[in-house]
Chain A
Amino acid sequence: KAGVTQTPRYLIKTRGQQVTLSCSPISGHRSVSWYQQTPGQGLQFLFEYFSETQRNKGNFPGRFSGRQFSNSRSEMNVSTLELGDSALYLCASLDPGQGRNEQFFGPGTRLTVL
C-alpha cells in the first residue's frame, strides 16, 4: 500500500495570506489527524477527522480549519497567516476499524510565513 502523502512538501507564504494543505491517507484509513510542529511548542494536535466529521479538536484558533472528503482525503486551511504559523504540518492516518491504534504519518508540509 502507498503511504500517507502530503502536498505540497514546501510552501512559502506572506503574512495575511491563506494556505491549504492536502493529505491523502493510506487506502482504507478513514481517520486523518493533523499536527503542527515548531521548535518552541513541539508537536501539537490540531484536529482529527473520521468519516468526514471532525471527531477531536486541539486548542488552535479558528483560523485553522479542516475538512475531509468522502474518499478520506483531508485538507487543512490556515487563513490570515501569521509569522508564528511557520511550522512543519504533519498528517497521520489510521484505520480504527481494525482495532489498531497505530498512526501512520506523512512526510509533512514545511510552511514558511514571511
Chain B
Amino acid sequence: SQQGEEDPQALSIQEGENATMNCSYKTSINNLQWYRQNSGRGLVHLILIRSNEREKHSGRLRVTLDTSKKSSSLLITASRAADTASYFCAPNQAGTALIFGKGTTLSVSS
C-alpha cells in the first residue's frame, strides 16, 4: 500500500472559480482514486482513473494522471459553496488497502 500526498493542504476560492488540487505518489499503481469528505462525515468516491488513462471527466470534475511523474490532479470547474470539503487521493495497487493522505481542504465562499 502507498499513501498519496495532496497539495495544497488548504485552498480558498470564490464561487464560480476553478479549484485544482494535486496528488503525488511514490511507486507504480493500478489506479488512483479521489474522494471527498464533508465535515465529520464518511468519504464519498468521486472518480477513479486507471494507470493506462491520462484524463477522465465526470460532470464538473476533471482528473489527470501522469504516471511518469507519479502525479495526478483534480480540477473542479465553476466551484460552488457545496464543493466545500476535504479531498483525498488514494493511489492503489492491486490487492492492497487504500491509504489516504492528509487531504486538501477546499473552502468555496459565495
**Across the two chains, which residue of chain A brings its CB closest to B45?**
A102
- What interface size band does chain B fall in? 20 to 34
What B residues does A68 contact at CB under 8 A? none
- Of the residues B33, B48, B97, contact of A58 by C-beta under 8 Å: B97
Q: Which of A12-20, A42-50, A72-80 contacts B (4 or more CB under 8 A)?
A: A42-50
Contact B31 A101 (CB under 8 A): yes
Least CB distance from B41 to A in Å reads 6
- Of the residues A4, A45, A55, A58, contact of B42 by C-beta under 8 Å: A4
| Residues 17-43 of B contacting A (Cβ, < 8 Å) | 30-31, 33, 35, 40-43
- Write the B76-103 contact mask toward A (1 if CB under 8 angstroms, else 0): 0000000000001000100111111111
Residues of B at the A interface (CB closer than 8 Å) are 1, 30-31, 33, 35, 40-45, 48, 88, 92, 95-103
Contact A101 B97 (CB under 8 A): no
Contact B43 A45 (CB under 8 A): no
